[in-house]
Amino acid sequence: MTQSIAPFEPIGGAPVREGFLPFSPPSLGPEEEAEIIDTLRSGWITTGPKTERFEKLVAEYCGVEHAVAVSSCTAALHLAVVLAEIGPGDEVITTPFTFASTAHVVMYQGAKPVFADISPDTFNIDPELIERKITPRTKAIMVVDYGGHPCDMDALSDIATKHGLKLLVDAAHSIGSTYKDRQVGTMGDIICFSFYATKNLATGEGGMLLTGDEEVAKKAKIMAMYGISDARQMWARYSPKGSWFYDIPELGFKYNFTDIQASLGIPQLAKLNGFIERRRENAGVYGRLLGDCPYVRLPEERPEVRSNYHLFPLLLNLEQLTIGRDEFVERLKAENIGVSVLWSPLPNHTLYQRELGVNLEDFPVTQDTYLRLVNLPVSPAASADDIEDAARAVLKICGHFAR
């Protein structure tokens, strides 16, 4: 299902803005630069004291007992599946509307992802559809907080408890969001954050596994470093009192986080609440300018939720427009607005069609959402004026292609 649409000229000959507005650039500054230089001059650049400091700071920020930094959210999710003892023959119920990581990690362990459709208002897995997918082989539910809007955690945790399932959370988007005044990271058995370059807190690459279970946290540290028993003593090993000897009791992975990444993470975390405020202001600008536009539907925040607005998913009322989503996206680019479609759902991909026998038509809400979806820029790097430009571009295109 490859899309190929020729680039368009801006409508009326001139775009709404002169320079290109990037979709989701990182917000880095002198604090990150200073911390990186400090690390480079410290003599230790991989997993060490700054990684530990970053873990403590994130754990404090979320109010969770244990945080283990790893090389990516995908690595954290894989460890979550391993630590939940999910293996060949097991099933994990998850959302079709996610990135590859969520389902790949289940398949890495020889288990089977089973998709349940999303709800049309939050784009998160619909708790009501989960129960009918449960079989004797189901071991866990793996949910995603789409765009930073937390899932209905009470409903999910009720289902998990009732059926004796682990609740794993792909919180790649949702650090700093809350549900019923509880921070993401405190709800679920294992919660995984992403610090990928485009995410709200960016360390280039990086992720974190959070849990209230000390045993799980201990195992995660070991499994993220080859299965070496005193995995976190690597840097002490090179000190005068360190020992060269170690034992490897488990088949672990090379999933460790580095002090170079922590050098970005520590100052980014200090700025996170400010970033979220800026994102929420930007979402407010869209609300004011597009709230009455009959050609689009804006994302809604449920009353019990405070979203970090990692994404701003706009849905097109295609019935009112003479062009489809793909052309709409290209038209926005011609207006110098950087946009994306996150994502082409997993049942759209050859791998899952072949291995799981799924098709997008089996998930009508996901399919409908996907066909209407345009993700607009909302990052803190974009000013209110930038967001106004993006909103004016949407209005311009809607006006031109109104049915």
Ligand X SMILES: *Cc1c(COP(=O)(O)O)cnc(C)c1O
Stretch that binds ligand X, among 23-31, 46-54, 70-78, 115-123 (CB under 6 A): 70-78
Of 199, 221, 333, 396, catalytic: 199
Active site residue 199: yes
Distant-in-sequence, close-in-space partners of 69: CB < 8 Å, separation ≥ 6 = 51, 54, 55, 58, 206, 207, 208, 257, 261, 262, 265
The reply to whether 95 sits near ligand X by the rule CB under 6 A is no
List, in order, residues 6 or more apart from 176 with CB less than 8 Å away.
61, 183, 184, 200, 201, 272, 273, 276, 308
Q: Following DSSP, what letter does each residue of 259-290 receive, concatenated? A: HHHHHHHHHHHHHHHHHHHHHHHHHHHHHHHH
Instruction: Out of 98, 124, 177, 256, name the contact with ligand X by CB under 6 A.
Output: 98
Instruction: Note whether 26 binds ligand X by CB under 6 A.
Output: no
Least Cα distance to 74 among 142, 140, 137, 134 occurs for 142
Closest separation in Å from C-beta 92 to ligand X = 14
Does 172 bind ligand X (CB under 6 A)? Our answer is yes
| Count, residues in the chain | 403
Binder of ligand X out of 39, 47, 94, 101 (CB under 6 A): 101
Using CB under 6 A, pick the residue from 23, 97, 99, 401 that binds ligand X.
99
Identify which of residues 168 and 332 has a Cβ nearer to ligand X in the complex: 168
363 near ligand X (CB under 6 A): no
Q: By three-state DSSP, how is residue 389 classified?
A: helix
Residue 369 phi, psi dihedral angles, 5° rounding:
-60, -50
Binding residue (CB under 6 A) for ligand X from 147, 207, 267, 380: 207
Q: How far is the CB of 203 from ligand X (least distance, A)?
A: 9
Q: Rule CB under 6 A: say whether 105 interacts with ligand X.
A: no
Q: How far is the CB of 154 from ligand X (least distance, A)?
A: 21
* Cβ 73 to ligand X shortest distance, Å: 3
Among 16, 103, 116, 144, binds ligand X (CB under 6 A): 144
DSSP H or E stretch at residue 355: helix 350-356
Asked whether 282 and 309 are in contact (CB, 8 A), the reply is yes
Structural contact between residues 93 and 130, judged by C-beta atoms closer than 8 angstroms: yes
Establish if 201 lies at the interface with ligand X (CB under 6 A).
Answer: no
Determine, following the binding rule CB under 6 A, whether residue 194 of this chain makes contact with ligand X.
Answer: yes
Shortest separation between residue 255's beta carbon and ligand X, angstroms: 10
Structural tokens at position 399: 């006006």
Considering the rule CB under 6 A, would residue 177 count as an interface residue with ligand X? Answer: no
Three-state DSSP at 247 gives coil
Burial track 252-291 (b if 16+ CB lie within 10 A, e otherwise)? bbebbbbbbbbbbbbbbbebbeebbebbbebbebbeebbe
Give dist(CA 322, CA 345) in Å, integer: 24
Rank residues 172 and 210 by Cβ distance to ligand X and give the closer one.
172
Residue 124 interacts with ligand X (CB under 6 A)?
Answer: no
By C-beta, is 98 or 157 nearer to ligand X? 98
CB of 294 to ligand X, least distance (A): 31
78 binds ligand X, rule: CB under 6 A: no
Tokens of 53: 């400091």
196 belongs to the binding site for ligand X (CB under 6 A): yes
Q: Is 258 a residue that touches ligand X (CB under 6 A)?
A: no
Q: Under a CB-based contact definition with an 8 Å cutoff, are residues 208 and 202 in contact?
A: no
Contact residues toward ligand X (CB under 6 A) are 72-74, 98-99, 101-102, 144, 170, 172-173, 194, 196, 207
Q: Which residues are catalytic?
A: 199
